[in-house]
Structure 1
Amino acid sequence: MTGPSTPYRPPHGPIAVIHRDDHLLVVDKPQGLLSVPGRGPDLTDCLLARLAAIWPEVLLCHRLDRDTSGIMVFALTKEGQRKMGRMFEVRRVRKRYIARVAGRVAAPSGTIDLPLIVDWPNRPLQHVNHETGKPAVTDWTRVAHEGDTTRMRLMPRTGRSHQLRVHMRELGHPILGDPFYATGAALDHPRMMLHAEGLKFEHPVTGKVMRLEAPVPF
């Protein structure tokens, strides 16, 4: 998402392809590039459009926030899109993210179970709401302390908008560089330190177990 104080300046350069077959195209989305077009003529440049210039048949299966980098799956056939979309919907895709967060996380691991819903007066921001929020669950593991920050491995069980970003803030350790949920020194970073590192799923057509990764750039 594009915030009011973050003008859209998408990066240039080729998109790294992680995997391609007759049905799927898996790429490494760079930070700062929209997954799909935004509203307005200045937000038309996006990952989907860039891939469609090379593979006109490409179809969207899921999204990453503009400021999140990492692994994204697209389909090259209607069958692949339908089945892949269904697997995301019923949570048969295991997702793994790496984040750097503010502060030194004390516990080695944990689970955050806090329901989320859009904060309508401040959309697209999300917030915790125990009455009307949709279930949102994130498992996390501390990887390492790095000075006064912590490297974390995040495994969302659900796929709510901004889930990892809100959950880390609620843990008391916002993601570094997050333009929506970090404040003060935690905001003062050249990018949001959140990267979709890995996906594991059964290929929607062949049934082969796919374990795919995008290298962490920070």
Structure 2
Amino acid sequence: MTSQRLPLPTRDGVGPSCVGLPQGPWPTIAEFLVERFPAITREAWMARMEASDVVDEHGVPVTAQRRYQAPLRVYYYRTLDAEVHIPFDEQVLFQDDQLVVADKPPFLPVTPTGKYLQESLLVRLKRKLKLDDLVPLHRIDRSTAGLVLFSVRPETRGAYQAMFPERRIAKHYEAVVPWRPGVSSVPGTYRSRLVDDDHFMRVKEEAGEPNSETRIAVEQMAGGHALLRLSPVTGRKHQLRVHCMALGMPIVNDPFYPVLLPPDSDDFDKPLQLLAKSVAFQDPVSGELRSFTSPRSLALPPR
């Protein structure tokens, strides 16, 4: 597998964004971009074009007067006028020619999204390590802290990505929950069917064939709370958070479950008590057995 170079280079850790031009009535590419992205002013697009920061898939600059043509891909740099700083640092635990293993703090997204661009784990690592081809092999929620694996080389990326759907990687999480005595699935295995909720940010359970599975064990108990060890067999969105809630033990400080808190309600003093603690796998390229553990830890609330 060869790496296809993009027509714009990575800038300050951020690669170019891409939009495909559909068939349509726009007289110029600029008119399409203004309509397609209403949050970006016409003046901002004109300034980007004057700086040659908008190009087509062949690297040809898109000017304000360039006639519309489709199909065509257009590349540009995404920018944010203001970005909230996440006051926690990531840590690189391992790096070689194939992999980077990082320990992510809570509140920091893995990749740029919404109002987060520079304040994402991927962009921070690209800047720090000078690795423009770095790509996450999996994701954890913005609220979740812990381990994230990254691929360094496009040529071997597919071999590492295949570990996840083929379940050749063991992942373990820790979570602090209010303890509910007598829960039949603890210790044990909990299975359910997860589907999209009415609110796009959440998922919910429904009757039917289970499509999610989590193994659950208790590591500590004190003062009405428990520290759980969660081992996801499947990797559904918000699986661990929804499973704990379904058992009557929602994870402490969860901003989504059971109640969805308003946007912009981050409380840096109350991070979600969910930690991607460890991963283990046989390296598909070198054949080595690899195991990584987050140096972070969760503590039960004081009695």
* TM-score class, shorter: 0.7 to 0.9
- Match for residue 99 of structure 1? 175
Does the 8 Å contact 1:138/1:155 carry over to 2?
yes
Kindly indicate whether structure 1 or structure 2 has the higher relative contact order, using CA contacts under 8 Å at least 6 residues apart.
1
- Match for residue 43 of structure 1? 116
**Distance in 1, Cα, partners of 2:190 & 2:221:** 20
Report the alpha carbon displacement of residue 25 of structure 1 after superposing the two structures with TM. Answer: 0.3
1:197 is aligned, of 256, 274, 277, to 277
Where in structure 1 are there 5+ consecutive unaligned residues?
1-7
SS of alignment partner, residue 150 of structure 1: strand
SS of alignment partner, residue 167 of structure 2: coil
Output the TM-score relative to the length of structure 2: 0.63
Report the alpha carbon displacement of residue 78 of structure 1 after superposing the two structures with TM. Answer: 1.3
- Match for residue 206 of structure 2? 129
Does the 8 Å contact 1:74/1:81 carry over to 2?
no
**Distance in 2, Cα, partners of 1:13 & 1:139:** 30
Q: 1:202 to 1:74 in 2, by over 3 A?
A: same
Q: 1:164 to 1:64 in 2, by over 3 A?
A: same
- Match for residue 134 of structure 2? 58
**Distance in 1, Cα, partners of 2:231 & 2:92:** 23
> How many residue pairs get matched?
203
Report the alpha carbon displacement of residue 196 of structure 1 after superposing the two structures with TM. Answer: 0.3
**Distance in 2, Cα, partners of 1:142 & 1:13:** 28
Where in structure 2 are there 5+ consecutive unaligned residues?
1-82, 260-266, 299-303
Report the alpha carbon displacement of residue 17 of structure 1 after superposing the two structures with TM. Answer: 1.1
Q: Is residue 211 from structure 1 mapped to residue 291 from structure 2 by the alignment?
A: yes
SS of alignment partner, residue 163 of structure 2: helix
SS of alignment partner, residue 164 of structure 2: helix
Q: Which has the larger radius of gyration?
A: 2
1:143 is aligned, of 219, 222, 235, to 219
Report the alpha carbon displacement of residue 19 of structure 1 after superposing the two structures with TM. Answer: 1.1
**Distance in 2, Cα, partners of 1:136 & 1:148:** 27
**Distance in 1, Cα, partners of 2:210 & 2:190:** 14
**Distance in 2, Cα, partners of 1:10 & 1:106:** 42
**Distance in 2, Cα, partners of 1:89 & 1:117:** 19
When the two chains are superposed, the root-mean-square deviation of aligned CA atoms in Å is 2.0
